[in-house]
């Protein structure tokens, strides 16, 4: 159990910080810092947690609960990913990666931890 909880944190932080760094280094080699910042800036989407009470609840799934984490919002991000270019597209990719991170945080780990 302890091991799984540590692994959950490791996966969470890797998806939030490590994966954007890998993407920036692999696909934006000469401008990796800018690409990394654009990807990381998509985490501002978590500002919608400020509207919720309590701010953080480990037993609540962000996806489908917070306005910027709603399914229509995710559909919008996906559409923007398809119809934008350059760093805008990268920003929407960051948003979708964020949603995947939050999604696996809840469903995958609740399943593995048998919650």
Distance, CA of 32 to CA of 17 (rounded, Å): 13
C-beta of 46: minimal distance to Zn ion in Å? 5
C-beta of 113: minimal distance to Zn ion in Å? 19
Q: Quick one: 24 or 45, whose CB is closer to Zn ion?
A: 45
C-beta of 11: minimal distance to Zn ion in Å? 15
Fill in the per-residue mask, 29 to 58: x = in contact with Zn ion (CB under 5 A), - = not in contact: -----------------x------------
C-beta of 97: minimal distance to Zn ion in Å? 11
Three-state SS string over 19-83 comes to HHHHHHHHHCHHHHHHHHHHHHHHHHHHHHHHHCCCCCCCCCCCCCCCHHHCHHHHHHHHHHHHH
Instruction: Check binding of 102 to Zn ion (CB under 5 A).
Output: yes
**Of 25-33, 61-69, 86-94, 107-115, which part binds Zn ion (CB under 5 A)?**
61-69
Q: Which residues contact 73 (CB under 8 A, 6 or more apart)?
A: 67
């Amino acid at each position: 159990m302890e091991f799984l909880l540590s692994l959950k944190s490791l996966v969470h932080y890797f998806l939030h910080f490590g994966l954007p760094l890998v993407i920036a280094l692999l696909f934006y080699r000469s401008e990796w810092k800018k690409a990394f910042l654009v990807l990381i800036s998509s985490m501002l989407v978590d500002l919608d947690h400020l509207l919720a009470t309590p701010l953080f609840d480990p037993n609540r799934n962000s996806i489908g609960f917070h306005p910027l984490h709603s399914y229509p919002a995710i559909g919008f991000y996906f559409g923007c990913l398809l119809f934008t270019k350059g760093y805008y597209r990268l920003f929407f990719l960051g948003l979708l990666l964020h949603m995947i991170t939050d999604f696996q945080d809840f469903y995958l780990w609740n399943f593995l931890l048998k919650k």
